[in-house]
Structure formats: structure tokens, C-alpha cells
Amino acid sequence: MKEIPTRFGFGEALVELGHENENIFVVECDIAKSTRTDMFCSVYPKRHINVGVAEQNAAGFAAGMATMGKIPFVSTYAVFGSMRMCEQVRTSICYPNLNVKIACSHGGVTPGSDGVTHQAIEDMGIYRTIPNMTVVMPADYFAAKAIVKAAAEYVGPMYLRFTRDPVPCIYSEKEVFTIGKAKVCKEGNDIAIIAIGDMLIQALNAAKELESKGISAKVIDMFTLKPLDEACVIDVVENIGKIITVEDHNWLNGLGSAVSDIVAREGKGIVRKVGLQDKFAESGPYKDLLKKYNMDSSDIVKFAQELCK
């Protein structure tokens, strides 16, 4: 299975969008080669603004552009895009509900050997709590291309999260994604595995192993964390009742918490979370980190077997 970082899909989609819409701009924080906005810069240099290592300025600059009808994509690493510029995004972008996209690479522990300083484990939870903000994370290269294009059509603040390291390609280039609508990747009736981003492949691998053990798992790609597809979750609660959430993020305030909110409101069902267990990881290969911190397919299988006893 071919593996490509989702940031590559982001960069390529920007180039295509730039050709289609002259209002597409990139506001870059001096790491264009890493975020892959260098692709856009090489074709549309006048619409690629590098503000330097000044993320707060990038947010304010983009907010101003949005008031003039432009569609700016602010690009940096997820740790900086969610924390260093959080106040500016909250007050200057989300409060006035401006059409700015915060598009960040290096989400979760996918930076691997870059270490804790570059592993964003809090970002989706931070932006999930800010009114007017939409939060999405594509699962692979093809999903990234499609979702970036959908983001350009979607009016309002949005946080897009991409991977540094390559992840397996799951979808085809013809796949269609609708912001706020989950995708069912595999049907099943014993347990539901709801995943986001790079963890979708772990969910699919776990489902395959569970099939060999006589457990039928439904796999859902909840690529939009906010607004969450509540109808999808309620359907799972009503018809299956057992849920495992899977995320490359602190298991507090991310996908697991969002799903649990709905399950609690419905008053039935049970949820188990797979994610980083409220701790910092360390430097190391991405896949090794998933294994060490109990975030790979084997941990999903373990939870599923316990729930289905």
C-alpha cells in the first residue's frame, strides 16, 4: 500500500485551487518546504506571503485579507498554529467569523523524531472549543486533496490538520468528502470503530484482524471533528452500542470526548478511547511511537475483544 504524507495532498490541492480561483492566497510562516506550500509559491509567487516566524502576525494578516474577500490559507506546524497564534485566531478570526483556513502540518505524533516540541497532541481539542471554528483531519493523501478543495468552498474559519510522515493511501482520487459528514469505510454489527486522520488505517487493520476472530467491526472515518456528524454517532449508539474511538491526539478533549458527549446525552452505549493517554510522547519513529503508547491496531483489537465478551 503506497504511503504519502497528507501535507503533500495539501500542497498539490493549493496549486489546483490557485488556478481555479484568484482569491486563494497562502500566508506562510517561513517553513514552506515542510508544509509544502512551496508548490503554490513556485506557481503563484505574488499570492504566497511569507510573514516569517511570526504566527500571530500571520493570523492578523489573514483576517485582514478575509475582510477584503480573499480566501487565505495560513500555513505552519500544528503546535504553532494551535497555540502560538491561538488568541489571534480566537479574537481576530473566529469571533468575527472570517473565512480563514488554518492549515497545519505535523499533526499528532507523526513528526516522530522531531520530538515533543513539534508533536501537536492538543491542537484539535483547543480549536474544538472555540465557537465558529470547524476542525478537520484527512486520513490520507487523496482525502487531503479533496478536503482542501472542499475547505475552499466552505465559508468560515477552519482548522485543517496534516501529517508530517507518510501514511497509507486508503481512498481513490474520485472519493467525495462533505464537511461535517462522516464516511463509513466498512460495515459491521458487533462493534463500531470511529477514527480520525492517520489513525483510520489502524482502525481498518484492526477490523480485518477482528474479522478473523469472529467479530464484525464497523469502521467510520470521522474526518470532521467539529461539527461532528451526530446522526452517525446516534445511529451507532442505537444499533451497535459499543464504540471505540481512535485518534492521534491527547485522548482528552478530542474525538473520544466529542463522541462521549453524544453517548452520555443519549443515555446508553459504551465508549473506549484509543489515543495518547494524557502524556507527552518522545522522539522516535512514528510507527514505533504508536506501538509504545498503545495507539496501534493491536490495542484496538484488545479493546474490541473486551467489549464483545
Residue whose C-alpha is closest to residue 102's, from 155, 46, 56, 157: 157
First to last CA, the chain: 33
Q: Could you tell me which residues come within 8 angstroms of residue 186 by beta carbon, excluding any fewer than 6 positions away?
A: 204, 207, 217, 218, 219
CA distance 193 to 158: 25
- Active site includes 55? yes
Chain-centroid distance, C-alpha 46 = 29
What 3-state class would DSSP assign to 276? strand
| Count of beta carbons in the 10 Å neighbourhood of residue 265 | 11
The edge-to-edge listing of strands for the beta sheet with 24-28 is: 48-50, 24-28, 71-77, 101-105, 158-161, 134-136, 224-226
Residue 209 backbone phi and psi in degrees, to 5? -70, -40
**How long is the chain?**
309
Burial tier of 64 (Cβ tally within 10 Å: 0-12, 13-18, 19+): middle
CA-angle at 74, arms to 69 and 79, nearest 5°: 150
CA distance 254 to 236: 19
Candidate list 16, 22, 28, 55, residue with the active-site label: 55
The string over 140-161, giving b where at least 16 C-beta atoms fall within 10 Å of a residue's C-beta and e elsewhere, is bbbbbbbbbbbbbebebbbbbb
The residues annotated with a catalytic role in the active site are 55
